[in-house]
Each structure stands twice: as C-alpha cells, then as structure tokens.
Amino acid sequence: MALISEGRFIEDAWRRLADEEALPKSGKIIVSLSRLEHAVAHLDAGVALGVLAPNTTEPEPLAAALPRLSLISIVFPAFADGRGFSLARLIRRAGFTGELRASGRLLADQYRHALGCGFDTIEIPDDLAERQDESQWQAERTAHARTYQRGYVAPGSILEARRKAAAK
C-alpha cells in the first residue's frame, strides 16, 4: 500500500496488527475495530494506537476511545462509496485531533475533498499508485484555493469570500 501525505508518497510508520497477534510493548500499531476495546484496556501508554474502521462505523463506539487513539483509518471499499467522508467529518466534530487516514481505492480527484473532510493521509493500493503517481496527487492538493463547503483545509468558503466582498 502507498501512503500519501501533503501530496507526496511517504513511508508508513504504522503496523497493522492481525487479530490473532499479541499486543506489542512499543511502536505504532493499528488494530481492527473489533479489537479496539481490548487494546485500549491492555496496551501500555507508550504504544501509539490506531484503529481500522469500516466506512459504515457509527462514531459513537469510537467516542470513548478517541482520547487514546493517535490514528483512525477509515476503509473505503470503492472510490464511489463516499460514506467515509461523512464519518471523517463526524469524527473531527467529535474532537479527534490525531491522524485521520482514508484507506482504499480513492482517486487523486478526491484528494481535495478528503482533505476538506479532515483526512490527513490517504492509503491506496500499489496498483492504483502506479496509475496515479505523486505528481497527480500534488496537483490535486493545490488545485483550488477555496471550496463551497467549509472544511479543514482552506480558511473560509467561496460563499464567505463573496459575502465579504459584497459587504465592502
């Protein structure tokens, strides 16, 4: 899997833990949603904890674990399934300040929207990374200075800019 941050392909410092693997004493690990409660209860504070959440996850089960989580990776099973964008917004509104990752078959065309919904990183399969190289992700990151919806990237929306200009 290729990891994209700020339009660049980067090395992933996190390790996905299989459900049958023992919890480590150190490092950065990502556990499945079904294993989250156990991991929160049994991991040392020195272990950075992340969770892999399906895009159909309700935010309430994650709410209790938010203070302990350093990363939430939301799974996108297909580029046309946008439920993960809504979940990301809800998680950010709930106060999560850690890394929010979109994981799956996302396209470079969706990068700005993902950033606007609060995602920090995008994880895509290697076959998709071969077809959409780093230059495409960088171009999409800076494609538009403003959007119609308020988000986490640009300060203010197009509508707010128009209102300010009309008020002058």
Can you give the pLDDT at residue 152? Answer: 53
What the block records as the tokens of 164 is 């300010």
What pLDDT sits at residue 116? 86
**CATH for the 2-167 domain, from 3.20.20, 1.10.10, 3.30.70, 1.10.3210:** 3.20.20
End-to-end Cα distance, the chain: 50
Query: pLDDT tens digits for 89-140?
Result: 999 999 999 999 999 999 999 998 899 899 999 999 999 999 998 888 888 8
How many percent of the chain have pLDDT more than 90?
A: 64
At 107, the amino acid letter reads L
Tens of pLDDT, residue by residue over 59-72, are 888 888 999 999 99
pTM: predicted TM-score of the whole model, two decimal places? 0.84
Distance of alpha carbon 96 from alpha carbon 63, whole angstroms = 9
Question: What DSSP element (H or E) covers 122?
Answer: strand 121-124
